[in-house]
Structure 1
Amino acid sequence: AEENIMIITYEEMKENLPRGVKQIAEFLGFSLPEEKIRSIAENATFQSMSNKSQETHGRFAPMLFRKGDVGDWKNLFTETQSQEMDAKFEECLAGTKLEAKLKYDKYCKY
């Protein structure tokens, strides 16, 4: 069966944004030249979007564009919230393909 859902993580995009742009384009059925992929990637970096965030997202910009660092969300969770998240993840996603894709132990586990 043909899959109609694509999952790509923030971590994957941070690691190699042009590759992520190409994967998304191909998933959507677009064949883009490398220069277009590069151009999209340059405009889609966290820094580029953050610089334009006030204009594009108005008063919500500070909530949406914080540091852009992988794992920075951990600074917003209390220890209890982190433990609850780990428990819920184990309950719902342990042993699934999504667990492997998310690399939960590497990027998320408290």
Structure 2
Amino acid sequence: MTNDLEKEAVDVWTLNSLADIDDIEFTSSQSDLKFSVQDIKDAIRSLRSKKSSGFDQVSNTMIRLLPEHYHALLTQAYNDLFRNAQWGSEWKTARNMSQ
């Protein structure tokens, strides 16, 4: 985690993963956590250059090669995710590290 916004997002994510959905929705509606396009660009820029992919089959290299106009879409998606407290199953996927 390289900046305060990223740390705040992780804290919110952690708290929300343990909370009741009604509490999450209320808290999210009161939050001023907002990502900017520059935040997304900075996060992408900070990714290590590696070609191996994770469980989602997307590598850091692929993300770094996204055209710039996708940064706005990602910004919207992250802001919607935190504002609406919609933690779909695709956001909860984890890789079993013991394999």
TM-score by length of 1: 0.30
Which has the higher Rg, Structure 1 or Structure 2?
1
The structure with higher relative contact order (CA 8 Å, sep 6+) is: 2
TM-score by length of 2: 0.33
